[in-house]
Structure 1
Amino acid sequence: MIFGTKSNYMLKYQKAKAKLVEYDIPQKDYPKFPLDSNELSYPVIYIISRYAESIIEDDTPGQEEFAPYIVKASQYFDAAVGAKDRTPYDADFLLSGSAAYFLSNDFGSSKVLCATLFERAKDISTMGVSQIILRNLLGYLLLDRAFPMVSDTSGGEKLCRALSFYYISGDGLPKIQQSMREYREAIYRSNDSMEIYYVDILLAVITIALSKASWELLPQYSKLEPKEWAEYLKSSKAPKMLWPAQQLIGEKDVLNGANAIVQLPTGVGKTKSIELIIRSSFTSNRTTTAIIVAPLRALCNEIASDLAAAFGESVLINQFSDILENDFFVDVTQKSTLLICTPEKLNYIIHHQVEFLDGIGLYIFDESHMFDDENRGTAYELLISEIRKHINVKKQIVLLSAVLSNAEQIRQWLFNENGVLASDPSIKTTPKSIGFASQTRDIHYYSEDSEQEDFYVPRSIEIVSLKKLGKERKKRYFPELTDAKDIAIYYANKLCRNGGAAIFANQARSVQTIIRRIIELDSRGYDLSGIRKCSNTLEMNRIAKLVADHYGYEHPYAKACLMGVAPHYSSLPNGVRLAVEYSFRKKDLHLVICTSTLAQGVNIPIKYLFMTSFMLNQNSMKVRNFQNLMGRTARSGMYTEGSVIVTDPKLFDNKSDRIKGGFYKWEDCVKMFDSHAAEPCKSSILWLVQNIKINYKLHIEGAYIANYIINNYSQPNCFKSCFEGLLQTYEEKTHIPLNENSAVTLNFALAVRQHVVEAIENHLCFVLSNDENADAQIVASETCKGTFAYFIANDAEKELLIKIFNAIAQKVKTVNREEIKRYSETMLGINDSLVIETWLAENHFVEQSLTDSEILEMLLSFFMDTHPIRKSKEYFQMICRMWLNGDSFVDMKKETGVQISDIEDICNKLISYEFSFFIGNIIDVIDAADDEGIAILISKLLLLQRKLKYGVCSETAISICEKVFNDRLLANSIAGQIRVESIDTNHIIEALKTCKNSILKFLSVYPTYFSARINWLCR
């Protein structure tokens, strides 16, 4: 065996030495390694040589023999460069490592080492011809660098010309094969051992590259003639070859129109895969209109930006706003149209215009593991179920996710035998090393086996005393070895010079806690130059300026930005989040303090993820959510390895303690890193018939809840009565009331189920509204049987689900058929729609000629009467008016005295989302009769809805938020410069072009993202 136990230990030691350098550990503190890892150089050179030879000679047994070791060879060369103990050989290690990664199909890591080679080894005068050609070819294939010719007498120039001609035209494979044979024979005759070593690697790389060439595979996979791909493949935007993920979707016939569940890890080329699926669909004329559905507006923005760069002017890209309004007119006769929106927006569209689906030929759902999301899962599942009914042999639907452990089960439900599962466990994301901090100041690394430590980094923490402030007497030290946040800050400061770092906090208020601690450390004289030095001071000043506009210069976020640290979470103003992500991608910023929002598809290049907690609020994080978060580290093509470091030392130090539970916490923690332990994606609809777990002793039978719904759903306040009845029953049985925490848990579980039922009710209204002759009970049964919940339920659960759907249908049947359509459009349950109808009638809202301010005041009162406002209710109306006026958070705080964190929640959740959504409901309830007065009222409501969504004071500012960038303060300021209040989204870009220079001057003090966006749109 080439790589036995001894070799594996030597590889671990080599990686350990690289880690010691990474952590800047003094050599005197290095552990005594029992083996010299440098001796592994000869075996790995033999491995790569023999593997290359077997590829050239098409020796299958030889490839099978050496393939298991080629990954280890690449990791060795990579670690040898990182160890910095043989720097004269770095160029050879980088080139050999890049080639070894390439031959193991890890093109992302190959790209990283190749880029490093070009950066560090610019002098090629000492390189042989084969080395130079190999370097240039890898640069051409992976970095889109020019492929220069070489001048030699051995046939290298002839080979280069043959390769260049092929990649330009798609022709000339026989000439390449001939040139390869002749060149190899010439090099072997030279008897130069280094040239012989590199010529075999070069020809193996060429062989692999040609076998995966886009010229060869795209026509083959799409069943189209090469000439139909030629224009694209000759362009600079086309990939020279397909990466494993793209080959997989090709092999599974997805490029030829197959319906598919695509389950691939994060960072393996998903964006390019989506592009190729769309290109194949358009090129084959299967459709002229495709839609991409992604769960977050930010992700929609990113997808739209990436695909706009990929397709240029050849495809019309229309990103719908996520406001629930009628802005979705699409001319489906327009050639090659790509639509992008959230699932809520698509649901809204089809509830208003179901025929919209007839024009769509390709559906792509990104991050499609939302079936059991407590807020969105039911509507998402019913949306997918509805679209499935519109899929025929001419249409295609593709669901993508990195964390669908039961992808085959979802495929069977969604497609039966008319779809495929594209998944391959051999396609792996960039590897992550998992480190655990300890109070011993060491950090312990594990990889595949949680029982077997790979290596440790000794004495990696240096504790220092801090300056006292004011009249303090007590000595203070940093880091405190029991504080997970302190340890995370310490390592981030030490390591972020090597790449982007993120400290994970379980909730937004913890983000501010960590940032305040960083500011305090600075005030106490702690050296944070590790963070400062690797950030772009000018760009961070610009971000600080934007943050200060929103929060004030005295806010911790503004101060942190000046130090090179930025926050990232869902309620952060959208413009700030965009600027932070952009500067992180540009490497102007190296440290973010983030929440789980980062796991939801945002692509920023993180090398280090510091986990301070595995809790989300009071609940343990799901394994698949954590793995999605972990997948954000080590983006392919940017890093060859990522590090996830658990900074709570109690987890490691107490891992053997069974008495106090440390052992079990360690087991739970380790499970988070095991991809096989990820929970299957279930259905939120199925919760209706499943047990409610109150605590480890108490649970409520699912059948009891289901039967209560079946028997009482038509009664007012069904779920409230159920809650009160359960409390009473518990007290009668135990003679004590249910404790407060358990009551809250029960009430929340019932509220979730009420939300599920109301979503089903609205969907049944939608289905019935499109078929006047349909029988409600039949529709309910068929709808239920079409759900994923029914598919995965057992027989008893299926029976209960059918009865629940029928009970809901019984209620829907009581509604006048003419009203059902209107109720379905509100996206609400019938009761909530009736509340709106009653209010409209009692307040004569439609009949009055109301001013804009009168409309706002009436709707504010109505909203506050019907929605729980738990924070600063007495200031809600004032905050709402200031939000509409374009005032900043800091101005709102000055006026109301409410904490900015509360204002942030009120504005971004209650006002921007719930109040805006509520006005959309009111618009849908109002009968849009052919009446001029009603039309004027609806136009006013629509404008108010959009102003509430974005927090701006004019239609022009709205258009900037929707089509340019969504930052309310900048949008209001730019709208003021344009000096026209009512420019719609169709004309905003032209308006910007007329003021481009003055706008760019205004934006020069703000983050670069905004100027770059203006320049790109106004090009």
Structure 2
Amino acid sequence: MRETLAKWVSDADALYHVERFGFSQPPELSHLRSRGDDYFISLVSELFDRLHEPYSDSTDWSRLGNAITQAGGVGDDQSPSYHGILAPEAAVFAAAAFYFGGYPASAYLTLKAADPSAFNGIQRACYELLSRPSTISSEYVSELVSAVQKGDLASIRAQVEHAARHEKLALESGPDEWVGWRLYRQIVSKFAETNIRAVLPDGESEYWNPLVQSLLDRSPPVWDFFASQINAIESGLLEEEKTFSVQMPTGSGKTALSEILLFHHLTQHPRNAAVLLVPYRSLAAELRGTIVRRLGRMGLPARSVYGGTVPTGDEVRDLDKTRAIVATPEALSGLLSAEKGFFDRISLVICDEGHLLDGGARGVSLELLLARMRVREIGSPKVVFVSAIVPNIEEINAWLGGTEETVVRSDYRPALADFAVLRDVGKGADAAVTLELHPHQRESKFSIKHFLSRNDFRYRNYQTGRINTYAFRSVKTKAIATARKALPMGAVAVFAANKRGNQGVVVLAEELLKQLEYSLPMAAPMQFVEDSAKLQAAVEYFTLEYGDSWIGTRTLAAGAVLHHGDIPQESREVLEGLVRNEDVRLTICTNTLAEGVNLPIRTLVLYSLKRRQPDGDAEDLLARDIKNLVGRAGRAGATTKGLVICANPRQWRLIAPVAQQQPGESVSGALLELMRRLRAELSQQSLPLTNDILEGMPAYHALTDGIDATLIDLAAEELGEEELVRIAEELSSQTFAAQQAEPEIADLMKQAFKLRAQRVAAIKNAGRLSWIRETGTRVRMLESVEVKLLPMRDRWDNVEAATDPDLVEALLTWAWELPEVAEAVKAAYRDAPPSRSDFTRVLAAWIEGQPFMELALRAGTDIDTMLGVHARLISYALQVAVEQGVGLLKKLLEASDRELSQAVVDFPDHLRFGVPTPAAKELAAGGVRHRRAAVAFGRSPELEGIVDRKEVFRVALRLIQDTERWRHMGILVFENTKFDLEQAINNFDTV
């Protein structure tokens, strides 16, 4: 872009932000309005000039597209900037610029709000080829889509030639006709290169028909691939049976690329299975409704697995027919141990968000799981390691068995983001806050003075009648006020690294409510809620579950979302749905929402980038984590541009390297860090490493369990202890940690593997290794179950109900003494743990199906503490322990010809779902997403005694037709449950 035009674009962008934030035109930018027509003409001229000499940097196309968008007043969040410009014409020009740069999602979004009736003739073809409408009227575009559907690339090439001929002829008709054909010829030429059939290997083959049809049937339909996806496919990712590592920025199509890879690989290998590893339960839950469902429709049965470490009956049922699994590492590890046959069928593993190798216990589990894949007896599957933010991806690729040729890098982002920082100016009555745009770019830096000032915080004190000023010097006040000012531009997320404390999201939510209470003269979230009935249904849901006084309920009632990791998955999905559908524009969140889950965020306000550690110290977020975070601002198909605002100027130093596109920190893996910490602790206490240390300290359980799971796979019957130890020592050298570790750390790791091999060998010699394999349980749990849990009852075959208080007491008494449960109790209750008997009342209420406000009441604590207790203790530490305990208990009893009551076998599911009856358990396990509904239907007399899941669902579907009977569950739960029941019945009938 020419220097003079680039400066004009920069100034216009500054003016856009000034006006969108509600300020009048500053004098230094006044020339832009008086010369608006010249500016627009210059932009369009630049567009047509670049058709001859395209930009070398695709981001210049995006910048041009956004400039035309702003100048032409295009889009839902835009208003006309200059007189005399036709918005429909500007929309097509802007969309074309995006498309030429490889930004089809931005092109689609730019034309989303345009009036189709404004386009005729060849302009209509341009409009439809870029906007992908559900109803196509242009004969040209209809033929192109049909050609893609059928795999007729020759027809597409013929259209390019046809457009070229008409472009020449149009010169004789006049400029308007020529402009249309010139634009269309260039668009269809680009389409011929990037359409899905053209990019897929042997794309004309009928082989691709199911995938192509699936892509075309989506809303919006997928006609083209992103540049990052094209780069990966052309590198041989689909065709070559090699390990690949792919680095693609957040939002650049990694998930869609994974789906294409799964389809291709599984179709090519009809007897094999594939796994998509994701780091979070929330992401696995989201993909259940997208990738999993779509693969099923394409004839490739798939499922999501993200429950506990011991697979449930549902998770292993018909596993021989399952072709693809989306799973967290913890859930997959248990599944592989319990189902060796499925493990042997896996020929592809896609590791998404692979940078989480550095993610504490989760990273240790992931590294050992990947090592387990590599040393599989029948050979390693193809591994595709995917991440947006790993600078040293070549090292990881080499560790996984890849080569220099199988590293794919892309810096393409389908929607770019600007950066800004808040800075205090003045003192006393002159105090104000400036918004500095592009602080890292000297040539385009611009400051919006008095972005926040006393005028924004004036309110009338209704007791005195006087005008007062709300204190606005704190960072949290400025962060929330900034978010409110950004609401007219689109969805806003305010991020904090912590849930609690002075820099947590709860404090931010309280600040929002306080500002709204004072009626400060700024935009309020409720002003942007279009469907109030939908919001009120969600508020009713949260009121029934958490009470109307809980901060999350009050925030939602004000038109905003509070989201953090302690909120149960069921409720998080409700909140995420509101944000995803843009029913709510303002979100206050930790990284649980800002990372992993794909949501539309126009503006991201960074409040705090320091994460509070368990010891109370604050630790800066890594640059690579911030990079992943800011990648959420500006999502493809949701906005053409994002804005990241640093609310605390003292933390701009953490963001600046990201804004400047610096690579960030390398990934070394949490396993290496853990081994270094272990060595330091052993050295400090002058202790030798023992199995008691590995099994007795929760910090090392991820290491212990990961090693054990791999050794169990390798412990063939004919192997003796000596050979197993040799294999274990060799296995330790196959970890990523071993490739980087100093000799003493490598030796310590080898010793840990050796100790676990000896432990596994002893269990094998005792004839109990098959128990571990069949149940998917942990080796370290065996002794505790045998010595402590088994004697808790004289008989285990006389329990009639899973909710039997004596059963609950026995299992809790045993689990309470486990190190990992004791640690979870301490963490959840923040060093003020209850007695076991007090916690028993809470646990009983959970299994009874009581809402969280009742659980908090029985515990004598607040909702936020109870959410932490549920997240850390009930649904994780205790759940895992009970699953393990019951699985091994069954094997111990069988060994002595004793039986375990079915009620005991079912107890882990009752604990997992928090339901009291067998019917409620079947409903929760079978797809009813709301616990309240599963409990209510499970208690109905009509379902008493029914154990067959299909019948339970059929009766429940019949019962829900009596609308008034179930309205007490709330509108949202009622409507979702009706949908869930219908879906489940359809699935049963299909199977």
- The TM-score range, normalised by the shorter chain, is 0.7 to 0.9
AA partner of residue 145 (structure 1)? S
Counterpart position of 1:634: 634
Query: In structure 1, the residue corresponding to 2:635 is in which secondary structure?
Result: coil
Could you say which residue in structure 2 is the equivalent of 1:736? none
Superposition deviation, residue 947 in structure 1: 1.4
Matched, 1:993 2:951: no
1:887-966 superposed matches below 5 A: 887-926=850-889, 928=891, 931=894, 937=900, 939-966=902-929
Counterpart AA for 1:639: T
Is 1:857 the equivalent of 2:809? yes
Deviation at 1:174, TM superposition (A): 5.2
With 251-260 and 978-987 compared, the bigger mean Cα shift is at 978-987
CA distance in 1, matches of 2:172, 2:64: 27
Match of 1:839 in 2: 788
> How far apart in 2 are the matches of 1:959 and 1:281?
34
Indicate whether 1:273 and 2:257 are aligned.
yes
Q: 1:528 and 1:45 mapped to 2: Cα distance?
A: 36
**Alignment partner of 1:762 is 2:740:** no
Offset of residue 844 of structure 1: 5.1
3-state SS, counterpart of residue 254 of structure 1: coil
State the alpha-carbon separation in 1 of the partners of residues 439 and 458 from structure 2: 38
1:373 deviates by 1.7
In structure 2, what is the Cα distance between the partners aligned to 1:1004 and 1:901?
23
Q: Which residue of 1 aligns with 2:842?
A: 879
Asked if 2 retains the 8 angstrom alpha-carbon contact of 1:923 and 1:938, the reply is: no
User: Which range moves more in the overlay, 256-265 or 159-168?
Assistant: 159-168
Report what 1:732 is aligned to. Answer: none
% identical equivalent positions: 17
Q: Give the count of matched residue pairs.
A: 931
**1:246 aligned onto 2:229:** yes
Match of 2:428 in 1: none
Give 1:579-728 correspondences, 5 Å limit. Answer: 579-617=574-612, 618-648=618-648, 650-651=649-650, 665-690=651-676, 705=681, 712-714=688-690, 716=692
Please tell me whether the aligned partners of residues 263 and 400 of structure 1 are also in contact (alpha carbons under 8 angstroms): yes
Q: Structure 2 vs 1, CA of residues 416 and 182 (structure 1 numbering), >3 Å: closer, same or farther?
A: closer
Q: What corresponds to 1:108 in structure 2?
A: 105
- What are the superposed Cα offsets for residues 488-520 of structure 1, whole Å, 9 maximum, x if unpaired? 221222322332111223322333322223333
Task: Quickly say closer, same or farther: Cα 1:916–1:704, change in 2 above 3 A.
Answer: closer
Write the mapping of 1:18-417 to structure 2, written as runs, cut at 5 A.
18-27=16-25, 38=36, 39-52=38-51, 54=52, 62-63=53-54, 69-80=60-71, 81=73, 82=78, 84-86=80-82, 88-89=84-85, 90-116=87-113, 118=114, 121-124=115-118, 129-140=121-132, 144-149=133-138, 159=140, 163=144, 165-171=146-152, 172-173=155-156, 175-190=158-173, 192-220=174-202, 226-230=205-209, 232-233=211-212, 236-237=216-217, 239-258=222-241, 259-311=243-295, 313=297, 314-320=299-305, 322-323=307-308, 324-327=310-313, 328-331=315-318, 334=321, 337-390=323-376, 395-417=381-403
CA drift at 1:341: 2.3
Code of the aligned partner of 1:107 = P
Two-structure CA RMSD over aligned residues (Å) = 3.5
- Indicate conservation of the 8 Å contact 1:292/1:363, yes or no: yes
Alignment partner, residue 422 of structure 1: 408
Tell me if the contact between 1:826 and 1:925 (Cα under 8 Å) persists in the aligned partners: yes
* 1:492 aligned onto 2:483: yes
Distance in 2, matches of 1:962 and 1:528, equals 46
Is the alpha carbon distance of 1:821 and 1:494 closer, same or farther for their aligned partners in structure 2, counting shifts above 3 Å? Answer: same
Unaligned runs of 5+ in 2: 426-431, 613-617, 987-991
Q: Which stretch of the first structure deviates more once superposed, 558-567 or 833-842?
A: 833-842
Change (3 A) 1:856 1:407: same
Residue 567 of structure 1 and its aligned partner are, at CA, apart by 1.3
Deviation at 1:347, TM superposition (A): 0.5
Residues 1:708 and 1:776: Cα distance change in structure 2 (over 3 Å): farther
| 94-103 vs 378-387, greater mean Cα deviation | 378-387
Match of 1:559 in 2: 554
* C-alpha distance after superposition, 1:25-44 (max 9, x if no partner): 12367756699874443443
Q: State how far apart, in whole Å, the 2-side matches of 1:94 and 1:493 are.
A: 28
Contact 1:710 1:803 in 2 (8 A): no
Cα displacement (A) at 1:873: 0.9
The amino acid that maps onto 1:325 is P
Distance (Å, rounded) in 2 between the aligned partners of 1:326 and 1:228: 35
Q: 1:915 to 1:37 in 2, by over 3 A?
A: farther
Q: Please, which moves more after superposition, 34-43 or 557-566? A: 34-43
Moved more, 756-765 or 302-311: 756-765
With over 3 angstroms needed to count, the CA separation of the structure-2 counterparts of 1:943 and 1:104, relative to structure 1, is same
1:514-529 residue pairs with structure 2 within 5 A? Answer: 514-526=508-520
Q: Deviations over 1:771-790 (max 9, x none)?
A: 54152321221110111111
Q: Give the 3 Å change call, closer, same or farther, for CA 66–783 of structure 1 in structure 2.
A: closer
Classify 1:778/1:823 alpha carbon distance in 2 versus 1 (closer, same or farther; 3 Å): same
- Residue 355 of structure 1 aligns with an amino acid whose one-letter code is G
Q: How much has 1:832 moved relative to structure 2? A: 5.0
In the TM superposition, what is the alpha-carbon distance from 1:929 to its structure 2 partner?
A: 6.1
Mapped contact 1:295–1:367 kept (Cα < 8 A): yes
Residues 389-425 of structure 1: CA deviation (Å, up to 9, x unaligned): 3497995332322222222111111024498223222
Amino acid at match of 1:572: I
Deviation string for 1:53-72 (max 9, x for gaps)?
A: x3xxxxxxx44679785344
Specify the alignment match of 2:725 in structure 1: 777
Relative to structure 1, the CA distance from residue 292 to residue 619 in structure 2 (aligned partners, 3 Å threshold; closer, same or farther) is: same
Q: Aligned with 1:457: secondary structure?
A: strand
TM-score, structure 2 normalization: 0.86
Where 1:280 maps in the other structure, the secondary structure is helix
Deviates more, 1:314-323 or 1:265-274: 314-323
Q: 1:761 to 1:183 in 2, by over 3 A?
A: closer
Matched-pair contact (CA < 8 Å) for 2:300–2:324:
yes
Deviation string 1:60-97 (CA, Å, 9 cap, x unpaired) is xx446797853442232123235732154222222111
Question: Are the equivalent residues in 2 in contact too, given 1:959–1:988 (CA < 8 A)?
Answer: yes
Superposed displacement of residue 968, structure 1: 2.0
AA aligned to 2:109 is V
Matches within 5 A, 1:493-512: 493-509=484-500, 510-512=504-506
- Distance between the aligned counterparts of 1:198 and 1:551, measured in 2? 58
Partner of 2:735: 787
Cα distance between partner residues in 2 of 1:391 and 1:107: 45
Give the AA of the match of 1:23.
Answer: F
Q: 1:890 to 1:329 in 2, by over 3 A?
A: closer
Partner residue, 1:695 = none
SS in 2 for 1:436: strand
CA distance in structure 2 between the partners assigned to 1:1013 and 1:615 by the alignment: 40
Partner of residue 531 from structure 1, selected from 525, 535, 544: 525
Greater shift in the superposed pair: 964-973 or 991-1000: 991-1000
Shift of 1:640: 0.8
Q: What secondary structure does 2:202 align onto?
A: helix
Determine helix, strand or coil for the equivalent of 1:459: strand
Do the aligned partners of 1:764 and 1:809 also contact (CA within 8 Å) in 2?
no
CA 374–542 in structure 1, closer or farther in 2 if over 3 Å, else same: same
Amino acid of the residue matched to residue 634 of structure 2?
A
What are the Cα deviations for residues 526-576 of structure 1, in whole angstroms up to 9, with x where unaligned? 356531111132112111111111111232322222211221112113222
Q: Which residue of 2 aligns with 1:801?
A: 749
Q: Which amino acid aligns with 1:345?
A: A
The change in CA–CA distance for 1:797 and 1:466 in structure 2 (over 3 A counts) is same
User: What's the CA shift for 1:485?
Assistant: 1.7
